[in-house]
Chain A
């Protein structure tokens, strides 16, 4: 079945460091791909999305490119801030699902130190 695999956390970085959080997926067809962020004590917020191969989603300095050949959607940011400390979830929505159901990865906790 469809699935999402994220790199294990926690990831600890110093402020202004480069961030990569790996996400790979298994799906039938061409799913839509998403990154959600969960700040402490809060719900899930959509960070960025891509709906077809080679699309690049971007928001708040974060980017991710839909790579069909490697079935990946890695999240990157050039210079992280303390305020980026959160849990990041990669998710896919199968095209075969008429209900827009999402399948989430396990989440990667990011901690940024000043």
Chain B
């Protein structure tokens, strides 16, 4: 069964550093997403991406965040200057239509 692949599975970074989280969505999917889950809390929408541009973003997705699809397969989330409160599990997801997301297994980001 097709999968969404995320790397790395765990990233530790110092406060103020830039991080890039990587995702390879399912190849024929059209919509791509990033969500985050702070430990023990709800899953929160960050951003959706369609046709090579952001289609919707949440209040969480401020100027410190950016997304890119640099080639035909990768989809990245960059956090420019990490804060302690950015520590969370970050999930990438993709979808072709209304069938339901396929999520990646997540990247655990720890900011120290």
User: Using a CB–CB distance below 8 Å, which chain A residues touch chain B?
Assistant: 32, 34, 36, 42-46, 49, 51, 89, 91, 93, 97-107
Q: How far is the CA of A44 from the CA of B45 in the complex (A)?
A: 14
B56 touches A43 (CB 8 A): no
Q: Is B66 an interface residue (CB 8 A)?
A: no
Give the total of B residues in contact with A, Cβ under 8 Å.
24
Stretch at the interface among B13-21, B68-76, B79-87, B96-104: B96-104
B102 touches A100 (CB 8 A): no
Q: How far is the CA of A32 from the CA of B98 in the complex (A)?
A: 8
**What B residues does A34 contact at CB under 8 A?**
100
Task: Say what secondary structure dominates the interface of chain B.
Answer: strand
Query: What's the nearest-Cβ distance from chain A to residue B58, in Å?
Result: 9
Q: Is B111 an interface residue (CB 8 A)?
A: no
**What B residues does A106 contact at CB under 8 A?**
41-42
User: Which partner residue on chain A sits nearest B40 by CB separation?
Assistant: A107
A44 touches B98 (CB 8 A): no
Q: How far is the CA of A88 from the CA of B88 in the complex (A)?
A: 18
Q: A44-B43, A99-B48, A102-B45 are in contact. Are A93 and B98 (CB under 8 A)?
A: yes
**What A residues does B52 contact at CB under 8 A?**
none
A100 touches B31 (CB 8 A): yes
A100 touches B104 (CB 8 A): no
Q: How far is the CA of A46 from the CA of B91 in the complex (A)?
A: 14
B91 touches A99 (CB 8 A): no
Query: What's the nearest-Cβ distance from chain B to residue A56, in Å?
Result: 15
Q: How far is the CA of A49 from the CA of B100 in the complex (A)?
A: 8
Query: What's the nearest-Cβ distance from chain A to residue B78, in Å?
Result: 20
A97 touches B56 (CB 8 A): yes
**What A residues does B31 contact at CB under 8 A?**
99-100
Q: How far is the CA of A52 from the CA of B12 in the complex (A)?
A: 43
**What A residues does B35 contact at CB under 8 A?**
102, 104
